[in-house]
Amino acid sequence: MTSVADAVVPGQRLGHVQEFNAGVGTYSHQNFLYASVVGVKQITTISSDELPVLSVQRENTQSAMPDIDAIVTCKVVRVNPRFAAVNIMVVDGKPCTDDFQGIIRVQDVRATEKDKVKIYNSFRPGDIVRAQVISLGDARSYYLSTAANELGVIFGTSVAGGSLVPISWQEMQCTKTKAIEPRKCAKPM
């Protein structure tokens, strides 16, 4: 890997499209590559028969926002038989400045036996859930899915106020009262 470290700002011309491929933080316009963010210019050579990739390592990361396929951490705010409404707080490990709204529709809770899913037996308000964005959704909410082993509730509080620990992929136990509550749990990674 060869690299030339150099600080650049948006709009700065970095090279010709015949010399480089556009990487992250850059864009091409009329045969030239320009920086689109503030950061440090990097040139990565992948193989000899391909053009080196020109990218800009961001200095300040943009405030996190959900994108399709991103893994998000969110808090359940409301449930009804059709979906659970959540506030998306963290996207791909980066906290959002302001929470985005999302919903987990009943058909997206788990991958199998979708007809048997009851939202109330999967999520309760206050639960912290790990989910994946499947669509930009409608005007208001992103659509999320928990249909994978590692997705689901990662932290919850029981009716009695104790914290819950998962005992199976669909049950959690209160640390105070040992009462068992149903949830769609995430398998720890």
Partner 1 sequence: MSISFHSPAVRTTNDGVVRRRAVGHDMDLDDGLEGAAESAMKDPTLHVVTPGELITSDTAFMRGHGTYIEQEKVLSSVAGVVDRVNKLISVRPLHTRYTGEIGDVVVGRITEVAQKRWKVDLNARLDGILMLSSVNLPGGVQRRKQESDELQMRTFFMEGDLVVAEVQNFFADGAYSIHTRSLKYGKLRNGSFISVSPGLVQRSKSHFHSLSCGVDVILGLNGYIWVSAHVSQDLEEIDTEQVYSNKNKEDITPADRESIARIANCIRALAQNFVFINATIISFAYEASLQYPLKDMHKKEVMRDIAVEATTAVDNMRG
Partner 2 sequence: MASEPTNLAISPAFTFSASTFQKLHPLEYFRKFASQGVRPDGRLLSSFRPTTVHYGVITTADGSAMVRMGGTTVVCGVKAEVAEPRLHAPDQGYLVPNVELSPICSSAFRPGAPSEQAQVVSEQIHRVLQESKVLDLKELCIEEGKAVWSLWVDVVCVSYDGNICDAALTSVMAALSNVRIRKPTYEEGVVKVAGVDLLDDENSFRLNLARTPLSVSFALLDTDLILLADPNSAEESISQGQIVITLDETGQLCAVSKVGAASSSQQLLKQCIERARERSQELRRIMNQEQ
Partner 3 sequence: MDRKRVAGPELSVAPLVEYPRDHKRWTPQDEQRHDTKRQPEDMRPIYLKTGLINQANGSAYIELEKTKLACGVYGPRPGKRTGFSGHGVLNCEIKFATFSCAKRRGHMRDPQEKELSQILSQALTPAVRLDLVPKSTIDIFITVLESDGWGSCVAAAITAASVALAHAGIEMLDLVAGCSAAYIPSGPSIASPTPSATDATNATGPSLAPRIFMDADLEEEKYEQGAIVLAYMPSLNEVTHMLQSGKAEGSIVSQSVEHCVEACNKIYAVMHHALVESVGENK
Residues near partner 1 (CB under 8 A): 107, 134-135, 138, 143
**Closest distance to partner 3 from the beta carbon of 109 (Å):** 23
Asked if 85 and 108 count as a contact pair (C-beta separation under 8 A), the reply is no
Nearer to partner 1 by C-beta: 136 or 165? 136
Is 161 an interacting residue with respect to partner 2 (CB under 8 A)? no
CB of 108 to partner 3, least distance (A): 19
74-93 mask for partner 2 (x: CB under 8 A)? -x-------------xx--x
Q: How far is the C-alpha of 169 from the C-alpha of 187, rounded, in Å? A: 7
- Using alpha carbons, list the distances in angstroms from residue 172 to 79, 123, 139, 148: 18, 11, 34, 17
* CA 128 to each of CA 18, 44, 65, 77, 98: distance values in angstroms, whole numbers, following the listed order: 48, 39, 18, 10, 16
The partner in contact with residue 134, picked from partner 3, partner 2, partner 1, none with C-beta cut-offs of 5 to 8 angstroms by kind, is partner 1
| DSSP-based three-state secondary structure for 39 | strand
Residue 100 beta carbon to partner 3: minimum distance, rounded to whole angstroms? 5
